Amino acid sequence: MVADAFTLCLCWGMGRARHRLPAAIKEHKALSTSPPNGSLACVGIGITLGSHITPLARSHIQTAEVVFAVVSDGIVELWLKEMHADVRSLQPLYAEGKRRTQTYREMVEAILAEVRAGRRVCAVFYGHPGVFAWAPHRAIKLAREEGYRAHMEPGISSEDCLYADLGIDPGSVGCQHFDTTQFMLYRRTVDPSAWLILWQVGLAGEHTGHRFATGAAQRRVLLDVLARDYPPDHEAIVYRAAMLPVQAPRMERLPLSRLPEIDLNGADTLAIPPARALQPDDEVLARLAALDQAVPA
């Protein structure tokens, strides 16, 4: 930057070079607006180890100078280390009793420190890096605000696996997705004629920000919230996609009333099928029919 300003001053002082001034200014502008050296790619590697990664995500990992990893398993970290010599796990930032928001902020800071140091950084997340994940969105936003190149590469999310394993087409009757605790804490308008997918159900009612699991008492509160729209014997599915190629997905069907007593972990998602049929809107149908009569197809 200092050298560019210097070049500009030289041109300004030299009569012979005065006609070159616009070009010099143009060049200076181009140099000063070109992004600084560091860059960030947040990539997803899917859910099932080894088989979900896209060629683009692999390429970002292999060509980065530094790779950060927030993945589901130590085995996944070992697999990443075969692709790159400098893989730094951000998993140790989690700690018992520490607020999750603090952990996420530290993740973002660790990633951005390397971007600011001018490095080509790849941050690897399991699943899709933009789905129910705060840190990748935040890191990209901050990096861009500071003038660095930053983007997200999508990955296969647990949502994608859910559609495949449970045979759900979200377009057939619609599909609503909520974080379980947010669903409990706020009054949401549920449409029981569509699917309801509750994420982080193993953390149902966790509003303190520093616990990694909750239990039967919190799930009983969840049941009461669900009871506004679903009967207690309504069947739900606890779903966990296979994370290793040797595993089978968990697809456990049970009445909602049994939720408090079952084992759930951080990777479980609750899928609740529609409890009633789609309700036709006769008024809209009549208006559309009138339009069809007025304008011949």
Q: Indicate which residues carry an active-site annotation.
A: 100, 104, 126
Query: In the bound complex, what is the minimum distance in angstroms from residue 97's beta carbon to ligand SAM?
Result: 19
Q: Which residue is nearest to ligand SAM (CB)?
A: 127
Among 38, 127, 192, 205, binds ligand SAM (CB under 6 A): 127
Is the Cβ of residue 7 or residue 91 nearer to ligand SAM in the bound state?
A: 91
- Burial of 33-63, coded b for 16+ CB within 10 Å and e otherwise, reads eeeeebbbbbbbbbbbbeebbbeebeebbee
Among residues 79, 94, 132, 178, the one that binds ligand SAM under rule CB under 6 A? 132
- CB 170 to ligand SAM: min, Å: 15
Residue nearer to ligand SAM on the CB measure, 8 or 242: 242
Give strand pairing partners of 67.
87, 122
Distance in angstroms (rounded) separating the CA atoms of residues 137 and 123:
11
CA 104 to CA 107: how far, in whole Å?
A: 5
Residues 6+ apart with CB under 8 A from 156: 44, 46, 47, 48, 52, 127, 128
Candidate residues 69, 108, 121, 133; the one interacting with ligand SAM per rule CB under 6 A: 133
Stretch 251-280: interaction string toward ligand SAM, x if CB under 6 A? ---------------xx-x-----------
- Restricted to residues 175-204, the positions that interact with ligand SAM (CB under 6 A) are 199-200
**Is position 76 an interface residue for ligand SAM (rule: CB under 6 A)?**
no
Site string for ligand SAM, 145-174 (x = CB under 6 A): ------------xx----------------
- Using DSSP, state whether 18 is helix, strand or coil: helix
Rounded Cα–Cα distance for residues 292 and 132 (Å): 43
* Binding test (CB under 6 A) with ligand SAM, winner from 47, 69, 70, 87: 47
Nearer to ligand SAM, 38 or 199 (CB): 199
- Nearest approach, Cβ of 261 to ligand SAM (angstroms)? 19
Binding mask 208-247 toward ligand SAM (x if CB under 6 A, else -) reads -------------------------------xxx-x----
H or E element in which residue 172 lies: helix 170-173
Residues in the chain: 297
Backbone phi and psi for residue 191, each to the nearest 5 degrees, phi listed first: -105, 100
Tokens for 228? 């506004």
Side chain identity at 204, as an amino acid letter? A
Report the distance separating Cα 281 and Cα 73, nearest Å.
48
Q: Are 222 and 205 in contact (CB under 8 A)?
A: yes
Chain residues in the site for ligand SAM (CB under 6 A): 47, 127-128, 131-133, 157-158, 199-200, 239-241, 243, 266-267, 269
